[in-house]
């Protein structure tokens, strides 16, 4: 099915086969395209049809990209009955066909034109199920270069220079974390990729796993080399069956190709990687809970320090990085840390992938340099609310983040700016809310989520989230009293200050941020609104 | 995952050895993982695939063969949302209440399903035939609101058009309102 770089036909159709497009019927469309091509008497050499990963604009799926000498034309939501017309258009390189008019997407749309593909450069280009295709695209060449030409110190130096920070939400400097693990006393070490992407509204990691799994494995292997680990785990949530399937396949292919296992590429470096599938516990995205889960235990966090970098899996130093962080590593080594650091802002370097969804015209994956304003992401790239009404707020950071009101949309997207607004970068979910969304309801939505997902270990989170959810019920049902308002505020601060792990500490954020920017909505929900004025 | 992949039915032969067959399969799974205690979650996933849920006698077997206390096995099995200790209803439906689906009316979809099937959200017993549970995000936010019926993802539910929504639900094989005895 795949075609290596040297023999890529001049004309090809790339069909997105990631979950989003699959649910929109990409498999039927691809089969119809193959049948139409054969019926028209064209060979795969003349016109290849290649399954690829995410082509970004998930809301218009199934997506097909037509490559030809004249460039690339993208189509969205082509009905299988039009497969013949699409084959003809691709064959002739004539994309003026009227019957496909409504499906043709303008490549000059800001949604495409303003993106910079760094982490996602292979998504939509490579066949996620073919290691040959990945290698032809250049994957694993940086791993080989590291093993043969660079010392672990030199690899870590490039990562430090890049200024890369953890993309799972924490924003801890990646190079520093790698150094901490590498400089622990001699003994076994582990590398772990956190692919337990649980924030509602986030699907960046799923897209990377489904679209370009070999890039992730390359990043993980480079990390293992840099910190001296010979064993690694990828912890994926069970809710992503296609990602698990493709990752397992990629691992098997990499082992067969000698890119994982003993004596990789003729060197003395060995690495075994295992996939561990979660079982539906959001808290396992927290690193100490994740380690418990990998060891077959209940996923309950423990206090830090010691940090996993010092004492992680089975007490050994363990490096834990998120999918997007690991997937950024190969390109940093290829282009150099300084190149990566030239993008972004002073404190937040490089690019960030966002999953854009909610009340927005263009839903899908967006990769932009750090420091891009929220407005250009949601209004220019996202195209604003579908019916043209104004945006009310943008939710970032999932259940740990907050709602940023429309008047602050000119804020640049970086770790510090979002934190100042009482939200956070989080893993990259961005949900746009229109005028009709009620903020106390949003806050209750997240609080119910936290109630469900609290592991029960510490009281502030286990009992506090339940109390908060009950208080929020009163606001949603418009039977709150002025005293409830004060109680809500105080309880939020208590849960934030005293919970054991990040889940509990950040659970009040959606309430606090909506209280801060949309206080009038809470006041209006009081029985005697006039008494609710801030003391 | 319980929500999207219908569990493989247990060996349905009426022969008295159905339980033995399942038990032999579980022993095989445990052997394949080298009887390592850290494989507990993987083992439970596969036990659930064999039985459709985690029956008591299977948990006993896992504890014995992984050489750990039953309390630990039960502790893990009851901690994770995707493990279920009760036999599932023949038909299941998972409605997404992630943030994107919430903004696009996921809660209305849930209410519609409760009414149509005469069930309560997240009641595993449902109406005996159908049960509706919520999930917190399926990562299909671009197609919100979404729902999974017996393992099939249904996207872009027309929440503003009740008749169109009913037609979509009808096409998934879900009985009409009032068709199921409460």
Nearest Cβ partner for B41 among A20, A293, A449: A293
In the three-class reduction of DSSP (H, G, I as helix; E, B as strand; rest coil), residue B129 is classed as: coil
- Chain B 4-63, residues with CB within 8 Å of chain A CB atoms: 4-5, 36-42, 44-45
Encoding tokens for residue A364? 């899908």
Go through chain B and tell me how many residues it has: 182
Chain mean pLDDT for chain A: 94
A236 phi and psi angles, rounded to 5 deg: -110, 145
Nearest to A510 by CA among A199, A168, A198, A194: A199
- Chain B 60-79, residues with CB within 8 Å of chain A CB atoms: 72, 75-76, 79
| pLDDT mean over B69-76 | 98
Look at residue A125 and tell me if it is in a domain: no
Residue A170 pLDDT:
86
Q: Are A59 and A24 in contact (CB under 8 A)?
A: no
Q: Please check whether residues A227 and A167 belong to one and the same domain.
A: yes
Look at residue A532 and tell me if it is in a domain: no
Secondary structure string (H, E, C) spanning A37-80:
HHHCCCCCCCCEEEEECCCCCHHHCCEEEEEECCEEEEEECCCH
Q: Please check whether residues A292 and A230 belong to one and the same domain.
A: yes
Encoding tokens for residue A33? 């395209």
**What's the structural domain count of chain A?**
4
Look at residue A286 and tell me if it is in a domain: yes
Lowest-pLDDT choice from A99-108, A145-154, A501-510, B126-135: A99-108
> Which residue range forms the structural domain that includes residue A221?
138-341
Q: Please check whether residues A38 and A92 belong to one and the same domain.
A: yes
Whole-model pTM?
A: 0.93
Q: Please check whether residues A357 and A324 belong to one and the same domain.
A: no
Residue A5 pLDDT:
43
CATH number at residue A228: 3.40.50.11540
Q: What is the DSSP string of A233-285?
A: EEEE-TT-HHHHHHHHHHHHHHHHTTSSBSSGGGSS--BEEEEEE--S-GGGG
The whole-angstrom separation of Cα B35 and Cα A188 is 22
In the three-class reduction of DSSP (H, G, I as helix; E, B as strand; rest coil), residue A10 is classed as: coil
Look at residue A111 and tell me if it is in a domain: no
Q: How many CB pairs under 8 A join A and B?
A: 142
Q: Please check whether residues A389 and A493 belong to one and the same domain.
A: no
Q: Please check whether residues A404 and A495 belong to one and the same domain.
A: no
Which of B68, B139, B145 to mutate: most A Cβ within 10 Å? B139
| Min Cα separation B14/chain A (Å) | 31
What is the per-residue pLDDT across A409-448, written as a single tens digit (0 to 9) for each?
999 999 999 999 999 988 899 999 999 999 999 999 999 9
Look at residue A346 and tell me if it is in a domain: no
The whole-angstrom separation of Cα A73 and Cα A436 is 36
Q: Confidence band (pLDDT; 50, 70, 90) for A66?
A: very high
Domain boundary among A320, A341, A362: A341
Look at residue A498 and tell me if it is in a domain: yes
Nearest to A341 by CA among A198, A513, A174, A477: A174
Look at residue A255 and tell me if it is in a domain: yes
Q: Please check whether residues A308 and A368 belong to one and the same domain.
A: no
Residues of A in contact with B72 (CB under 8 A): 297
Alpha-carbon radius of gyration of chain B: 18
Encoding tokens for residue A315? 């007490």
What is the per-residue pLDDT across A174-205, written as a single tens digit (0 to 9) for each?
999 999 999 999 999 999 999 999 999 999 99
- Chain B 162-181, residues with CB within 8 Å of chain A CB atoms: none
What is the per-residue pLDDT across B29-45, written as a single tens digit (0 to 9) for each?
999 999 999 999 999 99
CATH number at residue A78: 3.40.30.10
CATH number at residue A406: 3.10.20.600
Domain boundary among A341, A369, A393: A341
Residues of B in contact with A355 (CB under 8 A): 141
Domain boundary among A434, A451, A475: A434
Look at residue A2 and tell me if it is in a domain: no
Q: Please check whether residues A427 and A468 belong to one and the same domain.
A: no
Q: Please check whether residues A320 and A398 belong to one and the same domain.
A: no
Q: Are B97 and B146 in contact (CB under 8 A)?
A: no
Q: Please check whether residues A313 and A356 belong to one and the same domain.
A: no
Among all residues of chain A, which has the CA nearest to that of B139? A203
Encoding tokens for residue A508? 């009040």
CATH number at residue A493: 1.20.1440.230
Give the residue ranges of DSSP H helices in A336-457.
Answer: 337-341, 374-375, 415-420, 439-453
Q: Please check whether residues A426 and A446 belong to one and the same domain.
A: no
B73 phi and psi angles, rounded to 5 deg: -60, -45
| pLDDT mean over A372-376 | 97
Pairing, β A231-236 against β A190-195 = parallel
- What is the ipTM, given to two decimal places? 0.92
Q: Confidence band (pLDDT; 50, 70, 90) for A2?
A: very low
Residue A532 pLDDT:
64
Which of B7, B49, B81, B99 to mutate: most A Cβ within 10 Å? B99
Q: Please check whether residues A414 and A470 belong to one and the same domain.
A: no
């Amino acid at each position: 099915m795949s075609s290596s770089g040297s023999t890529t036909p001049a004309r090809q159709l790339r069909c997105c086969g990631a979950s989003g497009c699959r649910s929109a019927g990409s498999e039927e469309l691809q089969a119809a395209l193959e049948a139409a091509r054969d019926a028209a008497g064209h060979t795969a050499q003349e016109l290849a049809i290649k399954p690829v990963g995410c082509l970004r604009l998930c809301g218009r799926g199934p997506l097909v990209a037509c490559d030809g000498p004249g460039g690339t034309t993208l189509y969205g939501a082509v009905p299988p009955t039009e497969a013949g017309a699409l084959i003809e258009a691709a064959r002739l390189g004539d994309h003026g066909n009227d019957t496909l008019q409504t499906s043709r997407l303008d490549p000059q749309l800001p949604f495409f034109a303003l993106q910079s593909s760094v982490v996602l450069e292979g998504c939509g280009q490579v066949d996620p199920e073919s290691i040959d295709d990945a290698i032809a695209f250049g994957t694993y060449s940086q791993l080989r270069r590291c093993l043969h030409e660079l010392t672990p110190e030199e690899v870590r130096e490039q990562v430090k220079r890049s200024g890369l920070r953890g993309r799972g939400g924490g924003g801890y400097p990646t190079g520093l974390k790698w150094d901490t693990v590498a400089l622990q006393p001699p003994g076994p070490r582990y590398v772990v990729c956190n692919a337990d992407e649980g924030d509602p509204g986030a699907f960046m990691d799923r897209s990377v796993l489904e679209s370009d799994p070999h890039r992730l494995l390359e990043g993980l292997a480079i990390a293992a080399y840099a910190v001296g680990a010979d064993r690694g785990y990828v912890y994926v949530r069970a809710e992503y069956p296609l990602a698990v399937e493709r990752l397992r396949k990629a691992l098997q292919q990499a082992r067969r190709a000698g890119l994982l296992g003993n004596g990789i590429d003729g060197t003395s470096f060995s690495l075994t990687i295992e996939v561990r599938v979660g079982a539906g516990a959001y808290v396992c995205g927290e690193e100490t809970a994740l380690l418990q889960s990998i060891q077959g235990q209940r996923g309950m966090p423990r206090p830090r320090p010691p940090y996993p970098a010092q004492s992680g899996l089975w007490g050994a130093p363990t490096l834990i990085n998120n999918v997007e962080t690991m997937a950024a590593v190969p390109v940093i080594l290829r282009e150099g840390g300084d190149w990566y650091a030239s993008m972004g802002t002073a404190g937040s370097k490089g690019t960030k992938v966002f999953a854009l969804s909610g009340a927005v015209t263009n839903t899908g994956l967006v990769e932009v340099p750090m420091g891009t304003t929220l407005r250009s992401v949601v209004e220019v790239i996202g195209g604003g609310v579908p019916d043209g009404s104004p945006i009310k707020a943008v939710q970032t950071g999932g259940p740990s983040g907050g709602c940023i009101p429309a008047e602050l949309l000119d804020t640049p997207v970086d770790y510090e700016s979002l934190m100042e607004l009482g939200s956070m970068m989080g893993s990259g979910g961005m949900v746009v809310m229109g005028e009709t969304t009620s903020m106390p309801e949003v806050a209750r939505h997240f609080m119910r989520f936290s109630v469900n997902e609290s592991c029960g270990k510490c009281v502030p989170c286990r009992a506090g989230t339940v109390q908060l959810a009950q208080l929020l019920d009163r606001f949603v049902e418009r039977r709150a009293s002025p005293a409830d308002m004060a109680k809500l505020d105080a309880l939020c601060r208590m849960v934030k200050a005293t919970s054991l792990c990040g889940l509990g500490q950040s659970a009040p954020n959606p309430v606090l941020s909506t209280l801060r920017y949309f206080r009038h909505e809470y006041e209006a929900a009081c029985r005697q609104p006039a008494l609710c004025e801030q003391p | 995952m319980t929500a999207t992949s219908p569990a493989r039915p247990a060996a349905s032969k009426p022969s008295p050895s159905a339980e033995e067959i399942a038990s032999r399969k579980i022993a095989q799974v445990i052997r394949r993982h080298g009887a390592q205690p850290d494989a507990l979650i993987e083992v439970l996933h596969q036990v659930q695939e064999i039985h459709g849920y985690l029956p008591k006698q299977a948990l006993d077997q896992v504890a014995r063969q992984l050489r750990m206390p039953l309390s630990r096995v039960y502790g893990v099995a009851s901690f994770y949302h995707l493990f279920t200790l009760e036999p599932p209803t023949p038909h299941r439906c998972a409605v997404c209440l992630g943030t994107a689906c919430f903004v696009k009316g996921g809660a209305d979809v849930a209410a519609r399903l409760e009414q149509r099937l005469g069930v309560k959200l997240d009641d595993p017993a449902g109406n005996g035939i159908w049960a509706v549970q919520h999930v917190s995000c399926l990562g299909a936010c671009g197609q919100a609101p979404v729902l999974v019926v017996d393992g099939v993802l249904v996207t872009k539910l027309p929440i503003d058009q009740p008749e169109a929504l009913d037609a979509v639900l009808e096409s998934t094989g879900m009985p009409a309102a009032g068709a199921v005895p409460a």
